[in-house]
C-alpha cells in the first residue's frame, strides 16, 4: 500500500478525543499568532493586494472577507509571519499554519461548525506529519520546507475531510496537490518563509475544490513514478498509520518568538542565573540539522535574529524577553552588550543529541564551569500547556481579547471564532 492509499484510508478515520483536545489548543494558538501577525508584521501591502482581487464569505486576520483560497493564502501567511506558531519535530514542520487556514476558510463557505473544523484539522495535521515522515530527512536537508510541502498535502486531506469527498475525489485532490506543493528553506529569514505556509493552505483549498468539480490528475501524483516523492528527494520511508496515540499529541508549541530550533537552548538558559560579565565563553551544542536552519552568526535584521543561536542566547542571558516580539528589533541587534556577549558564543553540532535537545557549557572568568541542558519533549499536561498558551496570548494580543478568543475557541460556533479574527 502506497502512502497515497494510506492517506486516503486515514482521511476516513475517527479522531480520538486526546488528539482533538490538542488540536483545540493549537487552534487557539494559531489564531493568537495570526491576530498578532496582522498587527505586527509588515504584510499590509501584500494583504491589500490580495483582498483587492474580490470579496467573499471568508474572514481574514485584521478584517475583510474574501474567497476561500485567498483567505487561506492570507491567513496562512499572517499566522506564520511572526514564526511563533506550533511545530512538530517528527518532520520539522509547522503544521497548523498550513492546515487550519484551509479548513477554516472552507468551513465558512459550507457553514460548518467548530467541531467539524477541529475534526478535519486534526486529520490534516496528522497527515502532514505522516507525509513528512514518508518524505524523510533527505527532502528537508536538500532544501525543501516541510511546512509548505508536507503541509500542502495535510491541508488538502483536511479540506477533503471537511467537504466529505469520496475516495476517488481524495485521490485526485492529492494528485493535484502534487503539482502545486512547494517551498524552500532558502527563504528563511525573509517574508517568503511565512508565504510558504500561505501557499500550502491555498493549495489545500484549491486541490480539494478542483477535485470536487471533476478535474482529473495522475493516479498517484504523490508516490507514483515521476510523482512528488520521486522528484523531490523523498526517501519513501515506511510509515504506520497512528492507532491509539497520534503524532499530534507530541506537537510542540512555541513560547519564544523565534525559530523552534532555538527553544531548547533558550529554555536551558532561562534557569542559568549567570552574571553576563562573568562569562568567558559559552558553547552551545545542538543537532546537526539546525546548523543550516537557525545558525545565522551575525544577523542583520530582526527576522534574521529569529534564526540565530548566538543572538538569541545573548538576549536571554542579558534579560531580554525572547517571548516578546519587540525584542527582535534593530535596536537590540545594535546593543553593544548583546554584540559583545554574542561574540563569545560558539555553536557546535552534536549528532548525539536529538532535534529537541540542547546542551550548553559556560566557562566563567573565575575558572568555574556551568553545564546546562533541556529537551523540548519533556512531558507537559494539557492543563499546563493551556495555561502557558493563555499567558502567551495575553502578551501578544492583550488580556481582554485573549480571554474572548479562548472562550470562542472552546465553543461550537465558528462565527464566534472568526469574529475575533477580523478584529484589528
Give residue 164's region: left, alpha or beta (phi > 0; psi -120 to 50): left
Secondary structure E strands in 184-267: none
pLDDT at 165: 98
The pLDDT value recorded for residue 273 is 84
148 class by beta-carbon count within 10 Å (0-12 exposed, 13-18 middle, 19+ buried): buried
pLDDT at 242: 92
In 3D space, the residue among 278, 39, 280, 23 whose CA is nearest the CA of residue 126 turns out to be 23
The gap between the terminal CA atoms of the chain, to the nearest Å, is: 48
pLDDT for the residue numbered 323: 87
- Reference 422, options 110, 85, 57, 137; nearest CA is 57
Separation CA 268–CA 266 (nearest Å): 5
Residues of the chain falling short of pLDDT 70: 424
How many residues comprise the chain? Answer: 424
Of 259, 255, 251, the C-alpha closest to 124 is 251
Q: Give yes or no for a contact between 32 and 267, defined as CB atoms under 8 angstroms apart.
A: no
Sign of the CA dihedral running 211, 7, 179, 120: positive
Residues facing 22 on adjacent strands:
none
d(CA 57, CA 334): 45
CA distance 69 to 76: 11
Using one digit for the tens of pLDDT, what is the confidence trace for 269-279?
A: 988 888 999 99
202: its cell numbers: 491555498
Residue 341 phi/psi, 5-degree rounding, is -70, -40
**The CATH homologous superfamily of the domain defined by 260-375:** 2-methylcitrate dehydratase PrpD (3.30.1330.120)
- Each domain of the chain, given as residue ranges in start order, spans 3-252+381-421, 260-375
CATH architecture, domain 3-252+381-421 = Orthogonal Bundle (1.10)
> What pLDDT is recorded for position 272?
84
Q: What is the 3-state secondary structure (H, E, C) of 95-106?
A: CHHHHHHHHHHH
Q: What is the pLDDT of residue 410?
A: 94
Same fold, 3-252+381-421 and 260-375: no
Task: Please tell me the distance from the alpha carbon of residue 194 to that of residue 153, in angstroms, as a whole number.
Answer: 17
* Alpha-carbon distances, residue 124 vs 113, 192, 217, 251 (angstroms): 17, 23, 21, 13
Amino acid at each position: 500500500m502506497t502512502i497515497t492509499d494510506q492517506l486516503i484510508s486515514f482521511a476516513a478515520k475517527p479522531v480520538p478525543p486526546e488528539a482533538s483536545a490538542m488540536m483545540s489548543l493549537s487552534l487557539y494558538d494559531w489564531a493568537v499568532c495570526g491576530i498578532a501577525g496582522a498587527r505586527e508584521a509588515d504584510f499590509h501591502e501584500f494583504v491589500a493586494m490580495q483582498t483587492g482581487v474580490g470579496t467573499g464569505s471568508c474572514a481574514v486576520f485584521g478584517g475583510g472577507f474574501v474567497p476561500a483560497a485567498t483567505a487561506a493564502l492570507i491567513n496562512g501567511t499572517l499566522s506564520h509571519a511572526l514564526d511563533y506558531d506550533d511545530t512538530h519535530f517528527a518532520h520539522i514542520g509547522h503544521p497548523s499554519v498550513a492546515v487550519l487556514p484551509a479548513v477554516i476558510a472552507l468551513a465558512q463557505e459550507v457553514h460548518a461548525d467548530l467541531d467539524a473544523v477541529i475534526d478535519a484539522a486534526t486529520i490534516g495535521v496528522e497527515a502532514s506529519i505522516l507525509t513528512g515522515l514518508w518524505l524523510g530527512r533527505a527532502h528537508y536537508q536538500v532544501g525543501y520546507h516541510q511546512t509548505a510541502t508536507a503541509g500542502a498535502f495535510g491541508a488538502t486531506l483536511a479540506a477533503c475531510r471537511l467537504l466529505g469527498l469520496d475516495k476517488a475525489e481524495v485521490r485526485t485532490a492529492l494528485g493535484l496537490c502534487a503539482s502545486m506543493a512547494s517551498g524552500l528553506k532558502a527563504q528563511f529569514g525573509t517574508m517568503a518563509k511565512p508565504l510558504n505556509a500561505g501557499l500550502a493552505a491555498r493549495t489545500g483549498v484549491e486541490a480539494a475544490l478542483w477535485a470536487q468539480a471533476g478535474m482529473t490528475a495522475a493516479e498517484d501524483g504523490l508516490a507514483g513514478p515521476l510523482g512528488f516523492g520521486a522528484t523531490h528527494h523523498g526517501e519513501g520511508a515506511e510509515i504506520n498509520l497512528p492507532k491509539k496515540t497520534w503524532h499530534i499529541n507530541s506537537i510542540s508549541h512555541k513560547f519564544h518568538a523565534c525559530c523552534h530550533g532555538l527553544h531548547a537552548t533558550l529554555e536551558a538558559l532561562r534557569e542559568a542565573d549567570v552574571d553576563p560579565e562573568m562569562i568567558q565563553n559559552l558553547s552551545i551544542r545542538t543537532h546537526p540539522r539546525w546548523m543550516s536552519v537557525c545558525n545565522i552568526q551575525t544577523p542583520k535584521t530582526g527576522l534574521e535574529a529569529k534564526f540565530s543561536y548566538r543572538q538569541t542566547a545573548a538576549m536571554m542571558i542579558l534579560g531580554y524577553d525572547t517571548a516578546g516580539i519587540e525584542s527582535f528589533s534593530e535596536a537590540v541587534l545594535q546593543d553593544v552588550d548583546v554584540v559583545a556577549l554574542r561574540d563569545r558564543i560558539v555553536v557546535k553540532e552534536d549528532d548525539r543529541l536529538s532535534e529537541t535537545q540542547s546542551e550548553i557549557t559556560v566557562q566563567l572568568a573565575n575558572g568555574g564551569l556551568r553545564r546546562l541542558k533541556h529537551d523540548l519533549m519533556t512531558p507537559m499536561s494539557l492543563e499546563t500547556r493551556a495555561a502557558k498558551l493563555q499567558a502567551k496570548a495575553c502578551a501578544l494580543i492583550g488580556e481582554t481579547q485573549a480571554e474572548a478568543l479562548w472562550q470562542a475557541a472552546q465553543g461550537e460556533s465558528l462565527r464566534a471564532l472568526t469574529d475575533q479574527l477580523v478584529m484589528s
